[in-house]
Amino acid sequence: MTLVSNPTTSFLSNFPLFQLLNEDEKYHLESRFEKKIKPKYSYIYLPDEPSDTIYFLAKGTIKIGTHSDDGKEVIKSLIHPTAMFGELGLIGEKKRQDFAQALKEEVTLYTLKVEDFKKLMRSNYGLCDRVMQLFGSRLLRAENKLESLIFKDARTRIIDFIKDSVIARGRRIGYEMLLKHSLTHQDIANITCTSRQTVTLVLNELRKSDLIYFNRGKILVRDMAKLA
């Protein structure tokens, strides 16, 4: 379904990436978007599919990952609302190397053809510069994750993931921080390159020490300064 609506009330205004566009550019771009609603756990794309489409997430959470030769899943990143993903076609990827999958809730996203986005980038230097910054940030995150795998033990990687997630998306409640998420212990293991058993062990240890409290879909950090 192709969307055509008033650009002043468009979903585009919710995406920081598009704040650099004027109203004519928003209207032109909006007419080329397609809205999709995908059920929980469904795949958005799979390896070897054409990289001719970019995605913009409006609701839900997406995991980007791959599988090792022995079938083990590795989660490279988590995508949250107002973020772009599947954008490697902008820099020459012809076929997908990774998969993108919804987590445990329905997702709403908008798709745009790579060629349409490239045309806009060629006419809007500010947008082009912002996209390059996003690619740079992605590269830095990949380098930081590699350093973490080399220099940090499993417990530290799990704690760092909790802290980073709370800082990015947590909500302060008094002196505590609450993180709502859609991850299983296995997902956290696949992100931190540990095992589900190790994740469960570390979380239980932190709860026993009264540093965190957790149940399904929530982690409450008692004191960020003491979480180490």
**CATH no. for residue 188?**
1.10.10.10
Which stretches within 108-153 are classed as H helix? 114-123, 125-151
List, for the chain, all residue ranges whose pLDDT scores fall below the cut of 70.
1-10
Same domain membership, residue 217 and residue 124: no
Q: 135 and 49 in one domain?
A: yes
- Please tell me the total count of domains within the chain: 2
For residue 27, the model assigns a pLDDT of: 84
Contact 34, 111 (CB under 8 A): yes
Asked if the structure places residue 2 within a domain, the reply is no
Instruction: Name the pTM for this structure.
Output: 0.87
CA–CA gap between residue 59 and residue 82 (Å, rounded): 8
Residue 1 lies in a domain: no
226 is a domain residue: no
Are 176 and 131 in a shared domain? Answer: no
118 and 182 fall within a common domain: no
Burial class (CB in 10 A: 0-12, 13-18, 19+), 126: exposed
Dist CA 223 CA 221 (whole Å): 6
pLDDT given at position 10: 67
Q: Residues 25, 87: one domain?
A: yes
The answer to whether residues 158 and 146 belong to one domain is no
The boundaries of the domain holding residue 99 are: 7-150
Q: Is residue 228 part of a domain?
A: no
Is residue 227 situated within a structural domain? no
* Same-domain status, 159 and 133: no
78 Rama class: left (phi>0) / alpha (psi -120 to 50) / beta: beta
CA 195/CA 126 separation, integer angstroms: 43
**CATH number of the domain to which 42 belongs:** 2.60.120.10
pLDDT digits (tens, 9 = 90+) for 176-207: 999 999 999 999 999 999 999 999 999 999 99
Question: Quick one: 46 and 127 in the same domain?
Answer: yes
Query: Which candidate, 215, 218, 216, 211, places its Cα nearest to that of 175?
Result: 211
